[in-house]
């Protein structure tokens, strides 16, 4: 889960009571789409919290910690491409990408029906026409959708994400996993397991330096022409047997 971000010192007027003011950085990041982004933040702060998709303590940091944390990654994707976002929750990062990049097609994959209903309402309310919602687990959409990019944020460790996402990727596709500040450490622990699963290139890239504090750490894992199903890593087996560190519960 991303670390708490320092609130932006420069802020515009609030758009909706109870919703944090729009930071000046939002204009730079969203450009002409900032008004739509403001409406999304207003929805998150209203029904998103009321329906339990976002924790009430997140309200003051909806922009920096959540929406901008995702939006700074939006320029990464090729023009007019398709992106599958697994475990979208309240649309982070999938809906943020759909707002910032209307040229993209976003497939949001979310197993909880209650969350899907909220996402459907948000898509209708925002008038987005580039979003498809799948009420399913990532494992359930193999053969249903395929794309050059799969994204995820605060869903699982990278080895589990790789197992779920590699079958959804086209040849030479990329898993783009938004991570917290320990991304480099997690990657080092799972590198061998990722290679066994079919990764041919792995790395951590920083997005949003100078806009967000802290900036967003993104693990980018490229697959080859045909990812191979692999065994769970030793650390994953240990966790399943109750060994090792307790998995951090990402806040929503
Ligand atoms: C902690 S939430 C994160 C939501 C959002 N990505 C965010 O950053 O706020 C994790 C989400 O992953 C979903 N999830 C869990 N296992 C999944 C799976 N196998 N496939 C797709 N989604 C999954 C959960 O239903 C939940 O909505």
pLDDT in tens, 29-43: 999 999 999 999 999
Closest CA to 30 of 74, 77, 84, 80: 74
Contact 108, 133 (CB under 8 A): yes
Does residue 10 have a pLDDT over 90?
no
Domains in the chain: ranges and CATH: 24-240 (3.40.50.150)
How far apart, in Å, are the Cα atoms of 10 and each of 21, 67, 144? 10, 17, 44
Helix (H) or strand (E) holding 85: strand 82-86
Which has more pLDDT, 241 or 44? 44
Contact 114, 89 (CB under 8 A): no
How far, in Å, CA of 146 to CA of 111, rounded?
18
Phi then psi for 143, rounded to 5 degrees? 90, -10
How far, in Å, CA of 37 to CA of 23, rounded?
12
How far, in Å, CA of 84 to CA of 146, rounded?
8
| CA–centroid distance, residue 154 to ligand 1 (Å) | 7
Does residue 93 have a pLDDT over 90?
yes
Query: Which atom, in ligand 1's list, is nearest to the CA of 54?
Result: 9
Mutate to test the pocket of ligand 1, among 71, 87, 90, 162 (most ligand atoms within 8 A of CB): 87
Does residue 48 have a pLDDT over 60?
yes
| CA–centroid distance, residue 10 to ligand 1 (Å) | 32
| CA–centroid distance, residue 155 to ligand 1 (Å) | 5
Let me know how long the chain is: 252
Residue whose Cα lies nearest atom 4 of ligand 1: it is: 89
pLDDT band at 241; cut points 50, 70, 90 = very low
Contact 236, 160 (CB under 8 A): yes
Residue whose Cα lies nearest atom 14 of ligand 1: it is: 87
| CA–centroid distance, residue 107 to ligand 1 (Å) | 14
Residue whose Cα lies nearest atom 19 of ligand 1: it is: 137
14-41: average pLDDT: 87
Q: Which residues does ligand 1 sit against, CB inside 6 Å?
A: 86-90, 92, 109-112, 115, 137-139, 153-155, 164, 250, 252
| CA–centroid distance, residue 132 to ligand 1 (Å) | 16
Task: Summarize pLDDT for 119-138 with one digit per residue, the tens.
Answer: 999 999 999 999 999 999 99
Helix (H) or strand (E) holding 36: helix 34-43
Phi then psi for 201, rounded to 5 degrees? -150, 130
Does residue 180 have a pLDDT over 50?
yes
């Amino acid at each position: 889960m991303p670390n708490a971000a320092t609130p932006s010192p420069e802020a515009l007027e609030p758009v909706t009571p109870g919703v944090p003011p729009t930071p000046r950085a939002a204009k730079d990041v969203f450009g002409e789409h900032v008004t739509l982004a403001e409406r999304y933040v207003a929805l998150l702060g209203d029904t998103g919290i009321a329906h339990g998709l976002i924790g009430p303590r997140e309200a003051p940091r909806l922009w920096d910690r959540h929406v901008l944390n995702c939006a700074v990654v939006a320029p990464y994707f090729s023009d007019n491409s398709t992106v599958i976002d697994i475990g979208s929750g309240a649309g982070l990062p999938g809906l943020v990408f759909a707002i910032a990049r209307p040229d993209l097609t976003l497939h949001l994959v979310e197993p909880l029906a209650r969350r899907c209903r909220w996402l459907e309402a948000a898509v209708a309310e925002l008038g987005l026409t580039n979003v498809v919602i799948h009420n399913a687990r990532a494992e359930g959409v193999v053969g249903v959708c395929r794309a050059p990019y799969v994204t995820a944020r605060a869903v699982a460790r990278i080895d589990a994400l790789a197992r779920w996402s590699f079958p959804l990727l086209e040849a030479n596709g990329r898993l783009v996993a938004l991570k917290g500040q320990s991304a480099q450490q997690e990657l080092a622990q799972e590198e061998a397991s990722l290679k066994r699963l079919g990764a041919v290139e792995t790395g951590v890239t920083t997005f949003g330096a100078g806009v967000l504090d802290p900036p967003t750490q993104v693990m980018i894992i490229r697959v080859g022409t045909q990812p191979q199903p692999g065994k769970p890593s030793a650390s994953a087996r240990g966790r399943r047997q109750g060994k090792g560190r307790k998995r951090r519960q990402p806040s929503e």
